């Protein structure tokens, strides 16, 4: 028995580790013309967005406002929306703030899983449920963390995830971003190699994984969008 719709189960080409991300995106646009792209506008996300635009993507870029984003992240979103007018930037949970009552005060410290579930996963899941795209374009890569070391180009499930940057290293991403003068979140250059909400993100120390600054010391490595029972 398969949970995949006929569209989702469309066969995947035999991509190899050296396949150009543009080729993967090009295939994705053909196989899944309804795909959408969630993004938090980290380095990976900004590079993927530029590649997707070059490949002809003109769909939605979904950003979830948890109410706890750094101002630099919101400004990066706005700079990207200005640079890529052909894309439709959608902010879910818009207007969220630490005082909005969506979660008890300080839940991020006492139960970050519940905070992420309420402020990040649920708004995106609700949107995807109503929209029901067959696939998501995602910017994760293997070298971001040991927990992501096996990410393939294409992951099947209830909804297909397509990861064109799966095999790109951080160095490749930086070279691409520099070559194309991409509007990278300025916090990146202060050591915030992966940027989430301000209460749960610190700069990375030399030798650490790019995602080591996320929920540091809390025994948590993922927000729940890409791993766990509520994953997309
Ligand atoms: S990253 Fe932190 S503040 Fe943001 S939703 Fe998750 S627990 Fe809450």
| 142-160 pLDDT tens trace | 998 888 899 999 999 878 9
Query: Token pair 């971003």 is at which residue?
Result: 177
CA of 108 to the centre of ligand 1 (A): 5
Q: What does the alpha-carbon distance between residue 13 and residue 25 come to, in Å, rounded to a whole number?
A: 12
Helix (H, G, I), strand (E, B) or coil at 69: strand
Alpha helices in 2-87 (DSSP H): 21-31, 43-55, 71-83
Residues in the chain: 232
Record the tokens describing residue 121, joined without a space.
């996963």
Range in 102-106, 155-159, 220-224 with the lowest mean pLDDT: 220-224
User: How high is the pLDDT of residue 1?
Assistant: 34
Q: pLDDT at position 210, please?
A: 84
Confirm if 159 and 35 have CB atoms less than 8 A apart. Answer: no
Three-class SS of residue 26? helix
> 10 and 31 in contact (C-beta within 8 Å)?
yes
Give the CATH superfamily of 21-200: HUPs (3.40.50.620)
Quick check: 41 and 76 in contact, CB under 8 A?
A: yes
Per-residue pLDDT at 10: 62
Cβ neighbour number for residue 208 with a 10 Å cutoff: 14
- CA-CA distance, 135 to 35, in Å (whole number)? 5
Question: Which of 70, 116, 220 best tests ligand 1's pocket when mutated (most atoms within 8 Å of CB)?
Answer: 116
Three-state DSSP at 80 gives: helix
The two beta strands, 160-162 and 154-155, are antiparallel
Q: Residue whose CA is closest, atom 4 of ligand 1?
A: 197
Q: Return the structure tokens found at 176.
A: 């691409």
> Structural domain boundaries of the chain?
21-200
Query: pLDDT for 39-58, tens place per residue?
Result: 999 999 999 999 999 999 99
Q: Give residue 230's pLDDT.
A: 66
- Say how many Å lie between the CA of residue 134 and the centre of ligand 1: 27
* Rounded Cα–Cα distance for residues 8 and 23 (Å): 19
The residue assigned the tokens 């909804």 is 159
Using DSSP bridges, classify how beta strands 60-64 and 88-92 pair: parallel, antiparallel or unpaired.
parallel
Distance of CA 213 from the midpoint of ligand 1 (Å)? 13
What is the four-CA torsion angle of 38, 42, 46, 47, rounded to 10 degrees?
Answer: -110
């Amino acid at each position: 028995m398969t949970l995949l719709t006929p569209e989702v189960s469309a066969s995947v080409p035999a991509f190899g580790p050296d396949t150009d991300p543009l080729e993967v995106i090009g295939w994705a646009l053909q196989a899944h013309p309804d795909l959408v792209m969630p993004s938090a506008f980290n380095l990976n996300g900004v590079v993927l967005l530029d590649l997707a635009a070059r490949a002809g993507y003109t769909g939605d870029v979904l950003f979830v406002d948890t109410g706890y984003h750094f101002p630099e992240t919101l400004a990066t979103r706005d700079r990207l929306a200005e640079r890529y007018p052909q894309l439709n930037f959608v902010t879910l949970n818009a207007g969220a703030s630490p005082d909005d009552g969506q979660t008890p005060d300080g839940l991020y410290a006492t139960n970050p899983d519940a905070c992420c579930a309420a402020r990040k996963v649920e708004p995106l899941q609700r949107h995807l449920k109503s929209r029901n795209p067959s696939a998501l374009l995602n910017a994760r890569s293997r070298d971001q963390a040991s927990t992501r070391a096996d990410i393939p180009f294409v992951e099947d499930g209830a909804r297909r995830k397509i990861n064109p940057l799966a095999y790109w290293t951080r160095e490749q991403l930086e070279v691409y971003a520099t070559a194309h003068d991409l509007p990278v979140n300025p916090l990146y250059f202060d050591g915030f190699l992966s940027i989430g909400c301000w209460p749960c993100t610190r700069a990375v120390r030399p030798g650490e994984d790019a995602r080591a600054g996320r929920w540091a010391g809390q025994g948590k490595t993922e927000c729940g969008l890409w791993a766990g029972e509520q994953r997309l």
